[in-house]
Chains A and B, each alone.
Chain A
Amino acid sequence: MRDVILDVDQLTVQYRTRREPLTAVDHVSFSIQRGEIMGLAGESGSGKTTVAQAIARLNSGSTVVRGNVRVNGVDWLGADAHSLRELRWKRLSLVTQSVMGALNPLTTIGTQFNDTLEAHGERDRKKMRERGQNLLGLVGLSSDLLRAYPHQLSGGMRQRVGIAMALMFNPDLIIMDEPTTALDVVVERDLLGQIKGLQHRFQFAVLFITHDLSLLFRLADRIAIMYAGQLVEEGPVNRINQRQAHPYTRGLIRAFPSISAGKQMQKGIPGNPPSLTNMPSGCRFFPRCPMAADACAKSEPPWLAIPGDPSSGVKCFRWEEVYDE
C-alpha cells in the first residue's frame, strides 16, 4: 500500500506587491512516500525555496492563495496556530542552507535541544540531556558538544547538529533546503552519506531542495524540476538521468560536465529565466526553448503522463520528441 507522507496539491503562492500580486509558485502538485528522498531542483528564483517555506508554513512575505498540503494525512495548511505549534517538528522538521545562521549564537547546543524538547512538553532535565547525547551520537558527534556554543563548531559539525536537531522527534518528513551548499565537497560527500544512512534507518521522507542535479543523481529516489514557479517534469532519478522528457531538463543535464563522458562541449541554456512581473504567455520556457513551436506561445501545455512510467509527468507539448531522441 502506498504510504503518502507529503501530498502537495495545486499549491499556489503569491507575493503581495504594491501593484498586482506576483505568483511565485503556480499550481505545483507532487507527493512523497514514506522512506523516499524527493529532489526538487531548479535555478535561483524558480520558486523552490518558496515551495519549501509554504509547506513548512514559514512563509512571512508570501501567501498561499490556493492548494492543499497534507503531511501524513494532516491538513497542514488548515491547522490552526495552536495545533500547528504542537505538530511542528514532530511531523515535519527542517535543515536550512545557512551553516552560520541556523543555530542561535548565544546559547549552547544543549540549551537549543532542550528549548525544543521543552516546547513539546518534556520537563525532565536528565531525559533531555540523554536525548541530546543520543541525537549527537546519531550524527557521529561527541556528546561533549552539548556544552559547546555554535561558534566553537566547524561548518560541517554545525550542519550535523542541524540534522540531529531535525531528527529529534523522529519526524515523518524532513525538508532540506540546500543543506550542503555552503560546505566543501569532501564534507558534503560525508554528510550526504550520513543523510542516506539515517534515512534508511529511520524511514523518514525527505524533500531535498537544490540547484545541483548531479548531487540529486547520487542521493534522490525521485526528482522534480521547477521552472518559473511551475513543475515542468517529475520522475524516478534513473529515468530523469538517462531519458529526459522536457527540453529544460535536458538543457540542465547537458550543462553539467560528466567525469566519465570524456571530452565534449558543454552547452548552457541560452537566455535567462523570465521575470515574475513579465511571464510569457503559453509555455513559460518557450522563449529559451530550442524546440519551441507556434503552439507553445499560444497556450500553456498541460501536465502529461508518460506512458509506461506511472510516476512520471511532464509539462511540454513536444515531450515525445525529446523523450525519443
Chain B
Amino acid sequence: MKFLYRRLIFYVVALWATITLNFFLPRLMPGSPAQALMAKFAGRLNPLELKSIAIAFGLDVHQSLWQQYVTYLGQLAHGNLGVSLTFFPTPVIKVVEQALPWTIGLVGISTVISFILGMAMGGISSWYHGKSFDSITTTFFTFTYAFPYFWIALALLYGLGYLWGIFPLSGAYTNGLTPGFNGPFLGSVVGHAILPALTIVFTSVGYWAVTMRNTMVATISQDYVSLAVAKGLKTRKVLVGYAGRNALLPNLTGFAMSLGFIVSGAILTEIVFSYPGVGYLLYQAVQQEDYPLIQGILLIIAISVLCANFLADLMYAYLDPRVSKEGNQ
C-alpha cells in the first residue's frame, strides 16, 4: 500500500506540472495566441463579445500572469477548457467529448487486440526458438512493423474500398442513420472501423510479437522454467504460469504507454480514413490555429498518459511481488 501511496503522490505532482506547462507554453510563444484569436474574430463579433471570450480564455490583459493562472486552474476545476474557434461557439470539452468515443473505440480496441495477439504470437514463436516457424514469424513481424502505416492505410483504402468497394471510403458510419443502439447503425460503425482497425493492428502487432518473443526466449532459459519442466508440470502451465507471466511484465510498461497514447489517436490513420476521432480533430485544430482546442486536446492526452501509467503501476504491483511487498533486499 505504501508503494501505491507514493506513486499516487507522484502522479498528482506530475498532473500539476502538466497543467502548468499547458498553461504557460502558449504564453511563452512569440505572438500571443490571444492576438491570433482576436484577429480571427475581428469584424465578426462586437467588442463586448470579444472581451467576454478573452475572459473565458483567461487571456484578460488586465490580469497578471499569476491571476490568469489562478483563473485557469479555477476554470479547469469546473471542466471548462474554453471555447473552440473552429467549432465556435461549442466549448472545447464538448468538441473533444464527441471525438473521444470514436478514437477510444477504434484505436483502443485495435491496440488491445494487437497487444494480445502479439503476446500470444511472440510466446508461441519463442517456444519454437531456433526452428523454422520462429524464423518465419519473426521475419514476418519485423517486416510488418517496419511498414509505414499510412501506406498500408492508403493501399487498403484503394484496393478494398475504392476498387472492390467492399468497405466504405470514409467516416465512422453512413450518413443518415440514427446514432444509437440499433442494428443498422452498429453494423455501419463496425463496417467503417474494419479497415482503419486492420491497418493499426497490422502495423503494430509486429512490435509486440517481436519484443515478447525476445523476452520469452530469455525467460525460457531461466532455471525456474527448466525446473518446472523437470517437476512434471504440464507444458501449458510452464508456458503460461512460469515463462509467460515473467516475460509479460517488461511488456506491460510499453503497453501502458500505448494505452495512454490511444487518446491522441492514430493521427495518420484517422486522416486517411477521415475518421472523426481525436487525431483527426487535432489535425483540424492545428490547421485552423485553434489554440484552445489544441491546448485542450494536449491536456487530455497528457492526463490519459498519466492515468495509463498509474494503471500500469497498479497492474505491476498486483503481478510482481517484488514491487509492492516489504523485505526487498
| Chain A interface residues (CB < 8 Å from chain B) | 56, 58, 60-61, 85-90, 92-94, 96-98, 101-108, 115-116, 119-120, 148-149, 151-152, 154, 165
Stretch at the interface among B44-52, B300-308, B316-324: B316-324
Contact A90 B232 (CB under 8 A): yes
A4 to B224, CA, bound (A): 29
Chain B at the A interface: SS class: helix
A106 and B245 in contact (CB under 8 A), knowing A149-B321, A149-B325, A152-B325?
yes
Q: Which residues of B contact A106 (CB under 8 A)?
A: 245-246, 249, 319-321
Contact B321 A151 (CB under 8 A): yes
Interface size, B (range): 20 to 34
Stretch at the interface among B139-147, B233-241, B268-276: B233-241
Contact A89 B231 (CB under 8 A): yes
Known: A87-B232, A104-B241. 9 other contacts (CB 8 A): A90-B232, A96-B226, A101-B223, A105-B320, A105-B322, A106-B246, A106-B249, A120-B232, A151-B329
Q: Which residues of B contact A56 (CB under 8 A)?
A: 230
Contact A89 B224 (CB under 8 A): no
Q: Which residues of B contact A151 (CB under 8 A)?
A: 321-322, 327-329
| Chain B interface residues (CB < 8 Å from chain A) | 130, 222-224, 226-234, 237, 241-242, 245-246, 249, 319-322, 325, 327-329
Q: Which residues of B contact A154 (CB under 8 A)?
A: 329
A149 to B322, CA, bound (A): 8
A107 to B223, CA, bound (A): 15
A103 to B322, CA, bound (A): 13
Q: Residue on B with the closest CB to A88?
A: B232
Contact B320 A104 (CB under 8 A): no
A56 to B227, CA, bound (A): 10
Contact A115 B237 (CB under 8 A): yes
A106 to B319, CA, bound (A): 7
A103 and B328 in contact (CB under 8 A), knowing A119-B232, A119-B237?
no
Contact A104 B242 (CB under 8 A): yes
Q: Which residues of B contact A58 (CB under 8 A)?
A: 226, 229-230
A119 to B325, CA, bound (A): 28
Contact A98 B325 (CB under 8 A): no
Contact B325 A116 (CB under 8 A): no
Q: Which residues of B contact A105 (CB under 8 A)?
A: 224, 246, 320-322
Q: Residue on A with the closest CB to B225?
A: A104
For the complex of A and B, 10 pairs with smallest distance between CB atoms: A88-B232, A152-B327, A101-B223, A149-B321, A116-B231, A98-B223, A119-B233, A89-B231, A96-B223, A104-B224
A-B contact pairs, 27 of them (CB 8 A): A58-B230, A60-B226, A86-B232, A87-B232, A88-B231, A89-B232, A90-B232, A92-B230, A96-B223, A101-B222, A101-B223, A102-B223, A104-B224, A104-B228, A106-B245, A106-B319, A108-B321, A115-B228, A115-B231, A119-B231, A119-B232, A119-B237, A120-B232, A149-B327, A151-B329, A152-B327, A165-B231
Q: Which residues of A contact B241 (CB under 8 A)?
A: 104, 107, 115
Q: Residue on A with the closest CB to B327?
A: A152
A109 to B327, CA, bound (A): 15
A154 to B329, CA, bound (A): 9
Q: Which residues of A contact B249 (CB under 8 A)?
A: 106
Contact A93 B223 (CB under 8 A): no
Q: Residue on B with the closest CB to A116?
A: B231
A106 to B234, CA, bound (A): 18
A62 to B124, CA, bound (A): 21
Q: Which residues of B contact A92 (CB under 8 A)?
A: 230
Q: Which residues of B contact A61 (CB under 8 A)?
A: 130
Q: Residue on B with the closest CB to A85?
A: B232
